Structure 1
Amino acid sequence: MPAGRRVRRPSVAIEHADLEPLTRSDLQFDLLSHIFADETKVFSDPASGPDKLSFRDVFINAILRSPKAKSVLKEKLALSAFATDFGKLALLVGVGRLPATMSFFAEMRTAQRTYHPIPSLQRTNGNLLDSPRIKAILKSSTLEGDSAKNGLATPAQVLARIKAGQIPPTTLPNLIFVFASHSAEIGKDHLLDMEFLDLFLPNPASSASRARVFLWLCYHYHEGSSAGPGEDADVARGNPFSDPSSPGKAPSLVMLTPDEIALENLDPADEKALAARLIAQREAIVQGHLLKESVKESKKAESTAGETPSPVKPKRQRANAKAGPSSTPLERKGPEPVKEELPEPDEIYLKKLQLDDDDDLDLSAPQLVRPAYREERRSPKREPMPPLSPLRPFSVGVALPKPYSHRYSPYKRPRTMLQHAWHVVATSDPLADSDEDDEDEHVRQDHADRLAVISRVRGKAPTPEPEGVRPIPLHLGHWHDDIFVA
């Protein structure tokens, strides 16, 4: 094996199928019970000042202060029994025993999770969240100034902060993440023939001795008062979980015989019955959900039965179909529909409008007259305009459009100038030709309004000036000997 290459240990996560309960042996329930039942108040809590608390209280308080913990969870954690059960589950999530695919409340319906009842931890309430949410709560549990990204990540960093005088150097949930991420390093420094994560696996060592070793490690890296090798035993007692016979070291593990191992983590009969009831509850929820989905699918199938898919129509045909049969004045009632021919371009015309935000069009009202300048600009035979004097106002060779009146508009809700400007910016192509035939009534009306403004400013219709007549700008000045005097 190449030097310096780290051997990756197999996953410690529990692998169970959906609805398979987690037994006490899976959880190493006796180990968790010894850890959370220890009442030795030697751990510092930033929120409690100089007072020392037990491991359980400090761990639960860190969860309560997590920004990811919802108010509903905080209210439930106020119950002592539920807080202890949730703390045990959170500790297993922190060390990686419970994978991210597990959920622990029967109502969850996502296909990304599998439901697993935990009878030993669901005594007060059946809902215990799921692994990803619990892990997010633990990850966000940091000291003030730290975060999940820039917090302490190695045992060396934790000890360096303790040496600098900061106690505690981090929160207990984050410290457990550090232990799990450096399991081999922790085992090499403090344990003999095992890693840190081996403490939470089925093990020939007793649950009580493994719990003592775990608490010793937490105190050593959370409080930093353990004695080093060769120091006096009295100093070593600074860590209340030390063994006086081995100062500065983790307590020794007590090995059990196979018969003694069989007596640990036994599932009582009431928890087996609870597991069966939780499984039945989950199956009822799943079956009810499937029944609702099948009813929806059957109703959808019945509503679509007998319907033939209609071919896709062009945009203008869809617009006419949406406007309704009464909006097509070209059709007359009779045995055979008679199609009228469109009038000449310069006469009154009907155009199929694009329905954007006006669904209540009234096409039976008189339509707008097509402006003459449209045909003149498109006509290739129009004669060029005569040159104009630079001193004369510019004359537009177009016919004056009729004044706009909402009464004769096919739109019952005319757009304001701001609405039309926004519509043009949002829907028009700046590179498209402005003379295209598919412009809607709003665009043509905008052109008509602009020409009306020009005619009012000039005081006359925008027609070519007669020969020999000089236009006099209103309120601007007068002409004198072919010179405009302001």
Structure 2
Amino acid sequence: MANIPSQSVHRKTLAIKRNDAEPLTREDIQYDLLNHIFNDDHAVFTDPYSTLNNETHTAKVTFRDLYVNALVNSPRSSKVLREKIVDTPQFGTDFAMISLLANVGRINTTMAFFPEMRTALRTYHPVPSLQKTDGNLQDAPRIKNALKACLLKDESKGAPSTPMDVVLKRDSGHVPSTSVVNLVFVLSNHALTVARDHFDSNLDFLDLFLPIDVPSEARSQAFLWLCFHYLEPSSIPNPFADDYSRRNPRKAPALLRRTGDGGEPENVDTAEERAWGEKMAEQRRNFVRKTNEELLHPSADSASTPPPEKKGKERTSGRTKGSNPKPAELERQALSRRVIAGEKIPRCDSRPPKETLSHKSSQQKINRDVKQKHTPVDGNPHHTLFDSSGKAMGLRQPIGRPGIQYSVMPPTPERTMLEHAWHIVTTTDPLMDSDDEIADEHVRLDYTRRLQTLNRLRGKSPTPDIELPTSLQPDSNAMEQDPSPWGQT
């Protein structure tokens, strides 16, 4: 068998990487492969749910209906999304295609598919071949969370996580052995094991979704063969087998590479799709430009108009409801969007003006300049305020009224990288408010530490020597004068 590429190499090159507003072409998503998979008419898969046609569970359905129904029954799919999938079959197919790409890791969690997306942590990408209806493809984090919840009823305490686990469950009589979405996760996470057991070429499972010189139809047949092999009983002949796989048990259909002229070209965008992609890219750029202008130069009408009352729960990202964001926060948000839009940001002095005092520094100045004392005069206690030189200011505090005390809030302690990672995991909900993610000082410090670590490791061997801080490094002059670490005895 030929050498199989390492799993780590795939993980680095699998996800599609594009700039903000750049369309995803048919070549990027391998549209013809997806089209062959979801338009296959073999109704041979056992649906664990009530089918889309209102048939009872355990009915035999096509792969398209099996996968779409799994998304519909995901607890994390919104009601609006479920209704749209059921009411508009074309949107259901398009959404299932983009979900399968997220299922195998081809679409990462930084992508979004609607141009009015505001968060600086996502990039917008039109997908002309999959956005021919008025449905919203949402963003990758919501899709990924819906996929992770696609489990069978008996898998609430744990689903099969390896190909062997799936086979053992299948052979014990569970049909289907797991959900089709979880199966794709398992095959993706163990792509090399799948290649060793079922492929005779130097390709693995993840290669099926990459632009390679194997026809889309052959790759789709191998994918469907794997799904049937792991989901359905081994006693039933695999309907996706070819002559090669029938002669060689447990082997997937042959993945033969193109020869000669390669036949008819695949994954070719139509003129309408290219025009629509450019239109949406321009719409995105205009939206980002307008948003930046509104953040940096808010109009008088928008500043004087009170915010509308909202019902239900709302995340405020640490700000009081109804309060306007600070100018520094507005500038930071605008800067993030300018970076995403590809604009060059001029360097400027980030130090604050000397005359400007923040709220905290004002409190500290008051505490330094004002002293508070109790001094009895004529037998009546009163409070006398002193300035920084010790001279009484002549202000009297009435009896029975407590004296004014100024206190300064202690600074928030810095988090370690582990503490910050735990904070993000426990406080961030990727299903809500992805358009309002505000970075704070802790996020800036975490990115700074990561960058410093990468700069230290860059160009070094995989196991670099430990670098002592400057304060702990020995003095070269002292070492020349006294070569003995213990000095002269």
Q: 1:215 maps to what in 2?
A: 224
Coordinate RMSD, CA, aligned: 3.5
**Do the aligned partners of 1:104 and 1:118 also contact (CA within 8 Å) in 2?**
yes
* Distance in 2, Cα, partners of 1:314 & 1:26: 61
Alignment of 1:102-141 (within 5 A): 102-125=111-134, 127-141=136-150
| Alignment of 1:199 onto 2:201 | no
Report deviation, 1:284: 1.5
Give the match for residue 387 of structure 1: none
Distance 1:343 1:209, change over 3 A: closer
The residue that corresponds to 1:183 in the other structure is: 191
Match of 2:238 in 1: 239
Offset of 1:198 from its aligned partner? Answer: 1.3
Distance 1:98-1:318 versus aligned 2 partners, 3 A rule = farther
Q: Deviations over 1:287-318 (max 9, x none)?
A: 111011111499959xx999865965435988
**Shift of the alpha carbon at 1:260?**
3.7
| Alignment-mate amino acid for residue 150 of structure 1 | G
SS of 2:134's equivalent in the other structure is coil
Amino acid at match of 1:242: A
Distance 1:256 1:289, change over 3 A: same
Per the TM alignment, residue 240 of structure 1 is displaced from its structure 2 partner at its CA by 1.5
**Greater RCO (Cα-Cα under 8 Å, separation 6 or more):** 2
Pairing 1:91–2:100 present: yes
Count of residue correspondences: 325
**Residues 104 and 188 of structure 2 are in contact (CA less than 8 Å); yes or no, is this contact kept in structure 1?**
yes
Q: Distance in 2 between matches of 1:121 and 1:352?
A: 75
Q: Which residue of 2 aligns with 1:12?
A: 14
CA distance in structure 1 between the partners assigned to 2:28 and 2:260 by the alignment:
17
Verify the 8 A CA contact 1:100 1:131 in the aligned structure 2: yes
Q: Does the CA contact (< 8 Å) of 2:43 and 2:60 recur in 1? A: yes
Does 1:42 find its partner at 2:41?
no
Aligned to 1:153, what secondary structure does the other structure show? Answer: coil
Provide the C-alpha distance between the structure 2 equivalents of 1:110 and 1:319, rounded to a whole number of angstroms.
47
What is the match of residue 294 of structure 2?
292
**Alpha-carbon contact 2:115-2:124 (below 8 Å) kept:** yes
3-state secondary structure, aligned to 1:270: helix
C-alpha displacement of 1:202 = 1.4
Contact kept? 2:375, 2:384, Cα under 8 Å = no
**Contact 2:104 2:206 (C-alpha < 8 Å) held by counterparts:** yes
TM-score by structure 2 length? 0.59
Match of residue 109 from structure 2: 100
1:222-267 residue CA offsets vs partner (Å, 9 max, x unmatched): 11336xxxxxxxx6xx221122564234223354346445621110
Q: In the alignment, is the contact (CA less than 8 A) between 2:375 and 2:383 conserved in 1?
A: no
Matched, 1:252 2:261: no
**Gapped runs of 5+ residues in structure 2?**
51-56, 304-326, 329-351, 386-394, 403-489
Q: CA deviation at 1:166?
A: 0.8
Distance 2:76 2:30 in 1: 27
Deviation at 1:103, TM superposition (A): 1.8
1:82 paired to 2:91: yes
1:475 alignment partner in structure 2: none
Task: Assess if the C-alpha contact under 8 Å between 1:81 and 1:124 holds in 2.
Answer: yes
Partner of 1:480: none
Contact 1:348 1:367 in 2 (8 A): no
Q: Which amino acid aligns with 1:269?
A: A
Partner of 2:278: 276
Deviation at 1:145, TM superposition (A): 3.1
Cα displacement (A) at 1:168: 0.9
Q: Distance in 1 between matches of 2:231 and 2:353?
A: 69
SS at match of 1:67: coil
Unpaired segments ≥5 residues, structure 1: 227-234, 321-341, 354-362, 369-408, 412-486
- What is the alpha-carbon distance in structure 2 between the residues aligned to residue 107 and residue 260 of structure 1? 41
In structure 2, distance between residues paired with 1:93 and 1:81: 19
Name the TM-score, length of structure 1 as normaliser.
0.60
Letter in 1 for 2:379: E
Rg larger for: 1
Which digits, 9 at most, give the CA deviation of each residue in 1:160-209, with x for residues without a partner?
A: 00111111111001000111111111112111102111111112222112
- The aligned residue for residue 439 of structure 2 is none
Change (3 A) 1:240 1:294: same
The 1-side partners of 2:264 and 2:49 are apart by 42
Deviates more, 1:278-287 or 1:96-105: 96-105
For the 8 Å contact 2:44–2:62, the answer to whether it is kept is yes
Cα offsets for 1:9-34 (capped at 9, x unmatched): 33322222222211101111011001
Contact 2:49 2:58 in 1 (8 A): no
Secondary structure of 1:38 counterpart: coil
Distance (Å, rounded) in 2 between the aligned partners of 1:110 and 1:343: 58
In 1, Cα distance between the equivalents of 2:78 and 2:153? Answer: 19
Q: Which moved more, 1:67-76 or 1:30-39?
A: 67-76
Q: Does 1:347 align with 2:366?
A: no
Report the CA distance between 1:84 and its aligned residue.
0.4
Secondary structure at the counterpart of residue 267 of structure 1 = coil
Give the residue type in structure 1 aligned to 2:294. K
Alignment of 1:399-414 (within 5 A): none
| Whole-angstrom CA distance in 2 between matches of 1:317 and 1:100 | 52
After superposition, give the CA deviation of every residue in 1:326-353 in whole Å (9 maximum; x if it has no partner): xxxxxxxxxxxxxxxx995453444379
**Residues in 2 aligned to 1:29 and 1:319: alpha-carbon distance in whole angstroms:** 75
Is the CA contact 1:104–1:128 (under 8 Å) kept in the aligned structure 2?
A: yes
Structure-2 residue corresponding to 1:60 = 68
Which amino acid in structure 2 is aligned with residue 9 of structure 1? V
Q: Which amino acid aligns with 2:195?
A: G
Distance 1:204 1:344 in 2: 95
Structure-2 change in CA distance of 1:7 and 1:95 (3 Å) = closer
For residues 379 and 231 of structure 2, the distance between their equivalents in structure 1, rounded to whole angstroms, comes to 92
**Residues 62 and 171, structure 1, Cα contact 8 Å, conserved in 2:** yes
Q: Does the 8 A contact of 2:7 with 2:191 survive in 1? A: no
- Using the TM superposition, give the Cα deviation of residue 60 of structure 1 relative to its aligned residue in structure 2, in angstroms: 1.1
Distance 1:343 1:17, change over 3 A: closer
SS at match of 2:155: coil
Matches within 5 A, 1:319-334: none
Q: Structure 2 vs 1, CA of residues 203 and 7 (structure 1 numbering), >3 Å: closer, same or farther?
A: closer
